[in-house]
Structure 1
Amino acid sequence: MNPFLTLAVAIGAEISATLALKAADGLTKPGPTLVVVLGYGTALWLMSTSMDMLPIGVVYAIWAGVGMVGAALGGALLFGEVVNVAMIAGIAIIACGIAVLAAAQVQH
């Protein structure tokens, strides 16, 4: 399997788990709590699989950057959290950094 696709699915699982963590209300709601456990378990397994094929620095940088952006945007969409100019600028900067890392890995 393509390591970047594996990493993308891992990040999707991590973002889902993170958003479910907020919805789980201190892990007191069974449905969201189950999503948290399954999501983080799946995310870590797939992240470790992608590390078999990609350098750890690239995997972790993409994981952290895309995960943060996804969680921030998901929080805004699902929970009405504030999106402001500084947040948008930060997301744009992170997206540029991720693009540079991904391009550097493809060339190597």
Structure 2
Amino acid sequence: MRKKWALLTGAVIAEVAGTLMLRATIENPLWIPLVVISYALAFTLLGFALRLGLPIGVVYGTWAAFGVALVAVLGMVVFGDTLSIGAMIGIAAIIAGVVLIETSTTEKPPEAGIEVNA
């Protein structure tokens, strides 16, 4: 169970790193290979989390919500971006929605016909 969530956490971290580096490519295109590697790693880890049986709605919702929240907060810290109160409330609402989805979803094995080597 922990392995699934570790993979998903890694996917979020890789996606956030890629997004932050994407901003750096504006001034220095040498960051582009690292952006590509980060996004490839993020999608690979997402795929592994799905293969281990996490529901796709939970995986994608968690990845997207925490990615948005982390990029917004780190954008403030690293790049001096600003967030309005409305944006902060929106981010909190997204995270709350993901928590509601995650706590109300029961894990079940993948659909028949899809082989999982866990």
Please indicate, yes or no, whether the TM-score normalized by the shorter chain is above 0.5: yes
* Conserved 8 A contact 1:13-1:42: yes
For 2:83, the aligned partner's letter is V
Counterpart residue number, 2:21: 20
Counterpart residue number, 1:5: 6
Tell me, in whole angstroms, the C-alpha distance in 1 between the residues paired with 2:78 and 2:40: 22
Tell me, in whole angstroms, the C-alpha distance in 1 between the residues paired with 2:62 and 2:90: 15
**Greater helix percent: which structure?**
1
Tell me, in whole angstroms, the C-alpha distance in 2 between the residues paired with 1:98 and 1:35: 29
Q: Give structure 1 stretches of 5+ with no counterpart.
A: none
Structure 1 range deviating more: 60-69 or 13-22: 60-69
- Runs (4+) of structure 1 exceeding 3 A deviation are none
SS at 1:58 equivalent = helix
Give 1 or 2 for the bigger CA radius of gyration: 2
RMSD value, Cα: 1.6
> What are the Cα deviations for residues 25-46 of structure 1, in whole angstroms up to 9, with x where unaligned?
17x431x223212211110100
Q: Percent identity?
A: 30
Counterpart residue number, 1:73: 73
* Conserved 8 A contact 1:16-1:35: no
For 2:11, the aligned partner's letter is A
Q: Give structure 2 stretches of 5+ with no counterpart.
A: 108-118
Counterpart residue number, 1:98: 98
